[in-house]
């Protein structure tokens, strides 16, 4: 991947993160969805996981657990091969939150 494309993705991610911290969730979500599509097209799976993880946080913040579940399923195929330790832990926490909301399994055992 050319450095320019990588910088552009990172700059867009930083903008989306800034919107997230200002609680402009819808705007941040739209930008992150576009970033996930672009990063998958470029086969940049670690970056996909960064953007997708922030999407999870938006879905939790907006109590949109259905979209959280869908996003977790999409992440599952990449998480164990391309994620760093922080992303793996965050994925497990987000999965536990989803499972708690829908009363699935033993939450403490999952963590």
3-state SS class at 2? coil
pLDDT at 1: 45
Nearest of 104, 87, 94 to residue 57 by alpha carbon: 94
pLDDT at 7 over 70: no
pLDDT at 105: 79
pLDDT at 104: 87
3-state SS class at 104? coil
pLDDT at 30: 97
Query: Could you count the other beta carbons within 10 Å of the beta carbon of residue 21?
Result: 9
Q: Report pLDDT digits (tens) over 21-71.
A: 999 999 999 999 999 999 999 999 999 999 999 999 999 999 999 999 999
Q: Report pLDDT digits (tens) over 71-111.
A: 999 999 999 999 999 999 999 999 999 999 998 877 666 55
Nearest of 29, 14, 100 to residue 65 by alpha carbon: 100
For residues 56 and 72, is the Cβ–Cβ distance under 8 A? yes
């Amino acid at each position: 991947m050319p450095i320019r494309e990588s910088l552009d993705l990172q700059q867009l991610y930083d903008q989306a993160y800034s919107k997230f911290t200002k609680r402009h969730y819808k705007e941040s979500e739209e930008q992150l969805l576009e970033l996930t599509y672009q990063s998958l097209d470029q086969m940049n799976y670690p970056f996909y996981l960064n953007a997708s993880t922030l999407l999870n946080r938006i879905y939790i913040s907006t109590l949109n657990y259905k979209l959280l579940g869908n996003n977790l399923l999409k992440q599952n195929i990449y998480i164990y091969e391309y994620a760093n330790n922080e992303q793996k832990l965050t994925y497990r926490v987000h999965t536990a939150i989803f499972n708690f909301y829908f009363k699935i399994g033993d939450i403490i055992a999952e963590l």
